[in-house]
Amino acid sequence: MKKLAVLSLLAVLGACSKANAEKPDGAENYVLKCAGCHNPGPGHPGTMLLKQLGRPVPALIGRKDLELDYLKAVVRQGLIEMPPFRPTELSDDEIAEIYAYIKDANPPVQTPAMPAKKAP
């Protein structure tokens, strides 16, 4: 009887293990790990800093000028205020999936918070 209970418990734990859980794809990982800083607009430090420096503020989504090796280097080493991500936080495969999402997705529509004033 005890063996049956132990085997049942192991079967239940195996079914609930993280290895069997569905892992996030590139789009989900972008939202979880990148969007908070890199989406355009107020409250996103990665784009606000560029705007403060007077530089163009391109959204990451839809960028065609990024290369995978550059993205991996920035993710692993960090850049300016961006902290580095360890391989345990984002694997190379997950970075490649995020890269594919960034390249293929349509850039977000960027609308100003307030309409521009018309010239008199």
| pLDDT single digits (tens) 8-53 | 545 555 555 555 468 889 999 999 999 888 887 677 777 776 667 7
Helix (H) or strand (E) holding 94: helix 92-104
- pLDDT at 81 > cutoff 70: yes
Which one-letter DSSP state was computed for residue 16?
H
Q: List, in order of start, the domains of the chain with CATH numbers.
A: 26-104 (1.10.760.10)
Pick 32 or 2 by higher pLDDT.
32
Cα(92)–Cα(70) distance, integer angstroms: 12
Q: How confident is the model at residue 84 (pLDDT cuts 50, 70, 90)?
A: very high
pLDDT of residue 4: 46
CA dihedral defined by 117, 118, 119, 120, rounded to 10 degrees? -110
Q: How confident is the model at residue 62 (pLDDT cuts 50, 70, 90)?
A: confident
Query: What b/e sequence results for 59-73 when a residue is b if at least 16 CB atoms lie within 10 Å of its CB, and e otherwise?
Result: bbbeeeeeeeeebbe
Q: How confident is the model at residue 2 (pLDDT cuts 50, 70, 90)?
A: low
Residue whose token pair is 């132990």: 6
pLDDT of residue 111: 59
| pLDDT single digits (tens) 95-114 | 999 999 999 888 766 655 55
